[in-house]
Amino acid sequence: MLAPFAWIAGIVAPLRCAACDALGSSLCESCSAACSNHGPVTRAAKSGAPFTVALGPFGGALARAVRHIKFGGRRDVARTLGGLLAGYIAFGADVIVPIPLHPARLRERGFNQAALVADAVAATLGIPIETEAIQRINATAPQSRLPLAARRANVRGAFGAGPRASEVFGRRVLVIDDVVTTGSTLTSCADSLYACGAEEVIGAALAIRI
Ligand SMILES: [Zn+2]
């Protein structure tokens, strides 16, 4: 049975599939299959970039659904896709860290899309989430607006130890983002987590641009 608020929200704004707009659910059955039947996609660890696993390549239904999380803050969609992503995470992790947004951008947007996904993965796998182990120290220009070559320079040194950095010391950390493009943001986060004493850093995302 739905909680009263979800029931009321359902009357005011019925759930629509984030990929095809069909009425009835966050992600309909066929779009849910379309989002998960090309994966998992993995990227090997390379020159500082952590091994990364994703639900699938960025495109089609998955890309449309991810945009609803990133630009619309659709927690219900994050929950559905995050649950599917959790099914691909076969390795153990001690703690989950979503890629932090700069506080100024968080205030402007009202949510961190990576944290919405991380919440869903953490709840499915029963792994604690830690949002203050590392923090953004530079308000970098949004990666999606930059040419490829500028992206790595944009995020270099963008993260530093947060007030709860000790929570990752000696631990296996799963870093979560919504979409991985060049991997430079994940790499920069991994650098910072290793500097905080993390034993190992692994990445996961809903989609990888390939
Ligand atoms: Zn659909």
Ligand 1 center from residue 8 Cα (angstroms) = 23
Alpha-carbon Rg for the chain in angstroms: 17
Q: What is the mean pLDDT of each run of 10 residues along the chain (210 residues)?
A: 55 85 95 91 92 96 96 94 94 95 90 96 96 84 64 70 96 97 93 96 96
Q: What is the tens place of the pLDDT at every residue in 54-79?
A: 999 999 999 999 999 999 999 999 99
Cα–Cα distance list, 109 to 71, 78, 85, 166 (Å): 8, 16, 24, 28
Distance 22 CA to ligand 1 centre (A): 6
Q: How far is CA 150 from CA 97, 101, 102, 143, 147, in A?
A: 25, 19, 19, 9, 6
In this predicted structure, what is the pLDDT of residue 154? 58
Q: What is the DSSP letter of 100?
A: P
- For the question of whether the overall pTM of this predicted structure is more than 0.75, the answer is yes
Q: What's the pLDDT at 93?
A: 96
Tell the residue number behind the tokens 């039947």, with chain if given: 37
- Torsions phi, psi of 153, nearest 5? -65, -35
Return the domain boundaries, the chain: 39-208
Is the Cα torsion angle 151, 72, 35, 124 positive or negative in sign? positive
CA of 158 to the centre of ligand 1 (A): 37
Residue 146, pLDDT score: 62
CATH topology of domain 39-208: Rossmann fold (3.40.50)
Query: How many residues are there in the chain?
Result: 210
Q: What is the DSSP letter of 126?
A: T
- Among residues 72, 77, 67, the alpha carbon closest in space to that of 27 is found at 77
State the alpha helices, DSSP H only, in 21-171: 29-36, 60-72, 75-86, 103-109, 113-125, 148-155
User: From ligand 1's centre to the CA of 18, what distance in Å?
Assistant: 7
